[in-house]
Chains A and B, each alone.
Chain A
Amino acid sequence: MRIRRSAQAVLALATVGVLTACASGTANDPIDTDADITQQSLTVSIWADYYPDDLAERFEAATGVPVTIVNHTTNEDVMAKLTTGADSGIDVAFVSGQYAQALAEQGLLAELEKSLIPNEANLFPEASELAYDPGNAYSLPYAWGTTGLCYRSDLMDFEPTSWGDLLNPVAELSGRTTMLATERWMTLPAQKYLGFSINTTDPDELGEIRAQLEATKPTLLAFDDITFYEKLVSGEATLVQAWDGWCNYAIAEDPNVSFVVPSEGSDLWVDTMTVLASSQNKEAAMAFLDFILEPEIHGWVAENILYKVPNAPAMEALDPSIIEAFPNMGITPEELLEQEVAIDLGEFSVEYSRLVTEIQAG
C-alpha cells in the first residue's frame, strides 16, 4: 500500500527513534570468563514463590554477588517489559521456552557461556534437545511439565482419559468445566483430540480446530488460567484443563483432586532461565544459572513448588512420599519427551491470535 511521501518521512523519523531505543537496549557487553564477578550485582526476574525464600542470601554467601530478586506475574508481562527498548535493569529473566525463543530471535538474549556453567551436566540428557532452543544455546531449563485434565474424582462417576471428555462433555459435566485462556494452550486439547500437531500451520486444520472449539464453548463454565484450581476446590468446577504443577495446588487442598494426561498426548512445556544481552553483569548471571543447577537448590524447587525439574540428581533425591501424594511428579523425562514442545510460530502466530479471539468473542 502506498502512503504519501510526507507522511512516510514522519513515520520514518518516529521509527528511527524506536529503533535507536531498541538498538541501545542490546548494546552488547562481551563475556570475559576471567571477570571478577564479586564486582558485579544481579537483578533476577522470576515468578513469585517459584524459588527458595533465601535464594538471594545463599547465592551471595556462595559467590559474593549481591542479588535483587523481582517478581513477574506472567510471561506476557515480562516479555512486554523486555521488548520496549527501555533499560529494564534485569540481568536474568525466567520465561517459558517459546518466549525464550522469541527473545533470542529478536537478539535480546546473551549466548550462554557454558564454561561458566559446569552444573549443566546435572541436567537430564533429554533436557538439551528441546525444540525451542536445541542445545540450550540461549536458555537453560528450570522446570518442566505437561498439560492435562485436573478433576474432582468425588464429583465424577468415571475417570476421564481423553481430551474428548473436556471438549464434548457428558450432560452432567456441561457448565462445570474450564479451559485455559492463553492462546496456544486453548487450542491444544482440540489439536491433540483431532490428531494434529500443536505447532500446526495448516489453515484447514485450524478450521477444524475452530469448529471443535465453537462447539465446546457453550458447555464451558469459563476460560480461565488464573483461578481454575480454586474453582475445583470450591466445587464450582468439576473438570478443568490444567498445567500439572498447578493441579498439584488443588491436590494439596483437596485429596479428591486427580490429574491425568489424556491418551491423545499433550505438550511438554519448559520454564527456562535466560541472560539478557543488555546485562552488564553477564559473568555473574552465568554463575547464577550454574548455582540454580546445583542439585540441592534445584531439588528444593521440586519439593516446595511441586514442579518437576530437569535435574537428574535432584529428582533422584526427591522424597518418594511426594510422588505418592502428587503422582504427576513421577512422570519421567522419557515420558515427558513423548509430548510435543510448543515453538514460537513467527508470522503464523497472528492466525492463532485471531482464532482465539473468534472463539472468545463468538
Chain B
Amino acid sequence: MRTPRWFRLPFWLTFAFLYVPIVVVVIMSFNASSSLFVWRGFSLEWYVEVFRDGALMEGLGNTLVVASGSTALATVLGTLLAVGISRYTRSGLIRAFAIAPALLPDLLLAIGLLSLFGLVQMTLGLHSVLIAHAVFSMAFVTAIVLARLSHVDPSLEEASRDLGAGPVRTLLRVTIPQLAPGIIAGALLAFTLSLDEFVIAFFTAAPNTPTLPMVIYSMVRFGVTPEVNALATMLLGVSLLAIIATQRLTRITESL
C-alpha cells in the first residue's frame, strides 16, 4: 500500500513544530545583547565567547563521555533484556518492571541513586552519572526493541539453528539484523536523552565533573547568555554536516 496522501500533512507539521523553536535559538545566537529575550542587533561575539568559556567546553566534554558511555551500556543490556523477555517470559509484570525506569520521575531516580551511592560510600564522578543515565536509557532501548520483537518471525531463527548455526551466531547473524531498526532507534533516543539530562546528573555527578546542562542551569540566576545558543547552533551545524556526509557515502556505496 502506498503511504496515504493525507499522512504527508501531519508529517510536515511535525517537522515544522519540532524546528520552529530551533530557528529562534539559531537567530538569537547572533544577538548583540546578552539577553536571550530581546533582540539588540547582529553580532558574532557569542561564537568567540563560547571558545573562551572553559566551563562550557569542559561541560560539553563530560556530557559527550557520559552520553556515549551510557548509550553503549544501555543498548547492549537493553537489547539482551528485550530479546530475553520476549522469548522466555510471559509475565506482563516483568515487562513493566523492565520499562518502568524510563518513566520514573528523574528526581526520584536521582535522590534514590544518591541515597544508594551514599549508603555504599561510592565516590561520585562521571562514572556515577554514566551508571545512572544507563538505568533509564536501557529501559527506553528495551521498550523500543520489544515493540519491534513482537513481529519478529521466530521461524527464521529456528531455520538458522536447524542449519547448524550456534546460538551466538544465530543471535548475531539472524536476530540482531532483524532488530536493527529498533536497536538504532533506541540507541539514538538514549543518546539524545542523556545529552540533555539535568536532574539526575546534578545529583549524581561529583562537584568537579559538571555536565553541559549543569553548567547551563547554573547560569540561570544571572541570565543565560546567547553563547549557549551559539554552542547549540554549532552542534546543530556539525550534526547536519555529518548527516549529509553519511547520506552521500551511503549513496556511493549503494551505487557500487
Query: A253 is contacted by which of B35, B202, B208, B218 (Cβ under 8 Å)?
Result: B35
Q: Please indicate the chain A residues that have their CB under 8 angstroms from the CB of B123 in the complex.
A: 87
Q: Please indicate the chain A residues that have their CB under 8 angstroms from the CB of B221 in the complex.
A: 47-50, 73-74
Per-residue CB proximity of B178-203 to A under 8 Å, as 1/0? 00000000000000000000000011
Q: Please indicate the chain A residues that have their CB under 8 angstroms from the CB of B203 in the complex.
A: 80-81, 84
Q: Is the CB of A48 within 8 A of B219?
A: yes
Q: Which residue of A lies closest to B115 (CB)?
A: A84
Tell me, yes or no, whether B240 is within 8 Å of chain A by CB: no
A residues at B contact (CB < 8 Å) = 17-18, 20-21, 24-25, 43, 45, 47-50, 68, 70-74, 77, 80-81, 84-90, 226-227, 229-231, 233-234, 249, 253
* B38 CB → nearest A CB, Å: 5
* B223 CB → nearest A CB, Å: 7
Query: A86 is contacted by which of B118, B219, B222 (Cβ under 8 Å)?
Result: B118
Tell me, yes or no, whether B114 is within 8 Å of chain A by CB: yes
Report how far A241 CA is from B47 CA in the complex, Å: 34
**Would you list the 8 A-B pairs with minimal beta carbon distance, nearest first?**
A86-B118, A71-B218, A70-B207, A48-B218, A85-B118, A21-B118, A49-B222, A84-B114
* B238 CB → nearest A CB, Å: 26
Q: Which residue of A lies closest to B217 (CB)?
A: A73
Report how far A219 CA is from B124 CA in the complex, Å: 46
* A233 CB → nearest B CB, Å: 6
Query: A233 is contacted by which of B38, B119, B210, B219 (Cβ under 8 Å)?
Result: B38
Q: Please indicate the chain A residues that have their CB under 8 angstroms from the CB of B119 in the complex.
A: 17-18, 20-21, 85
Report how far A59 CA is from B179 CA in the complex, Å: 57
Report how far A134 CA is from B217 CA in the complex, Å: 33
* A178 CB → nearest B CB, Å: 14
Report how far A351 CA is from B203 CA in the complex, Å: 27
Q: Is the CB of A249 within 8 A of B222?
A: yes
Q: Is the CB of B111 within 8 A of A84?
A: yes
Main secondary structure of the interface of A (DSSP, over half): mixed
**Given A43-B207, A49-B221, A249-B222, 19 additional A-B pairs, CB 8 A:** A18-B119, A25-B118, A48-B219, A48-B222, A68-B207, A70-B207, A71-B214, A71-B218, A72-B218, A73-B217, A77-B202, A84-B203, A85-B119, A226-B220, A227-B37, A229-B223, A233-B37, A253-B33, A253-B38
Q: Please indicate the chain A residues that have their CB under 8 angstroms from the CB of B214 in the complex.
A: 71
User: Which of A68, A70, A229, A253 has the largest number of chain B CB atoms within 10 A?
Assistant: A70
Q: Please indicate the chain A residues that have their CB under 8 angstroms from the CB of B220 in the complex.
A: 73, 226
Query: B121 is contacted by which of A50, A84, A87 (Cβ under 8 Å)?
Result: A87
Report how far A165 CA is from B41 CA in the complex, Å: 35
Q: Which residue of A lies closest to B36 (CB)?
A: A230
Tell me, yes or no, whether B19 is within 8 Å of chain A by CB: no
29 A–B contacts, CB within 8 A, in A order: A18-B115, A18-B119, A21-B115, A48-B221, A49-B222, A68-B208, A71-B210, A71-B214, A73-B220, A81-B114, A81-B202, A81-B203, A84-B114, A84-B115, A84-B118, A86-B114, A86-B115, A86-B117, A86-B124, A88-B207, A230-B35, A230-B37, A230-B38, A233-B38, A234-B37, A249-B222, A249-B223, A253-B33, A253-B38
